[in-house]
């Protein structure tokens, strides 16, 4: 089990540097890591597209009790994530991010203001 915690704060222009770092951090999880990477990337896209395009995002990842825990916080105004309809792909020309995040993570929870996200994925049997 990996015991390290990674926490980074960055702006959108550094996203191209952060994505390979995320892939490397999750590489030991094989297929589950690929699924987690897709969900995390969708969350990052949403944070920068809808959160605050000029602000920063803090990403924290760690493993605990056979789960991958991911926290993502932006400094935008937020949204009502737990009340937003999550539409399957093909039914809209946008809006697939929430659906994909919930498809690849067992738990997706937003704080009250909607600018912080907690995602949990079981990675060990």
The predicted-structure confidence for 76-89, as pLDDT tens digits, reads as follows 777 665 555 555 55
Residue that is written with structure tokens 């792909």 in the block: 89
Distance, in Å, from the CA atom of 36 to the CA atom of 59, rounded to the nearest integer, reads 13
Name the residue range of residue 80's domain. Answer: 5-122
In the predicted model, what is the mean pLDDT of residues 78-104?
Answer: 68
Catalogue the E-assigned strands of the chain: 5-11, 56-64, 67-74, 107-110, 116-122
**What pTM does this model have?**
0.84
In the predicted model, what is the mean pLDDT of residues 22-27?
Answer: 94
The predicted-structure confidence for 58-75, as pLDDT tens digits, reads as follows 999 999 999 999 999 988
Distance, in Å, from the CA atom of 74 to the CA atom of 52, rounded to the nearest integer, reads 7
Write the CATH number for 10.
Answer: 3.30.565.10
Which residue intervals of 47-95 are DSSP H helices? none
The pLDDT value recorded for residue 88 is 58
The pLDDT value recorded for residue 48 is 84
Q: Which of 58, 6, 70 is nearest to 33 (CA)?
A: 70
Structural domains in the chain (count):
1
In the predicted model, what is the mean pLDDT of residues 52-58?
Answer: 78
């Amino acid at each position: 089990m990996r015991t390290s915690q990674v926490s980074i704060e960055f702006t959108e222009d550094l996203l191209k540097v952060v994505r390979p770092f995320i892939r490397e951090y999750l590489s030991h999880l094989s297929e589950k890591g690929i699924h987690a990477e897709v969900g995390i990337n969708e969350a990052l896209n949403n944070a920068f597209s809808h959160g605050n395009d000029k602000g920063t995002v803090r990403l924290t990842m760690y493993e605990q009790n056979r789960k991958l825990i991911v926290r993502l916080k932006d400094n935008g105004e937020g949204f009502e994530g737990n009340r937003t309809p999550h539409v399957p792909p093909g039914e809209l020309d946008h809006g697939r991010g929430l659906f994909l995040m919930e498809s690849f993570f067992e738990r997706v929870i937003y704080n009250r203001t909607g600018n912080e996200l907690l995602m949990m994925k079981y990675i060990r049997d």
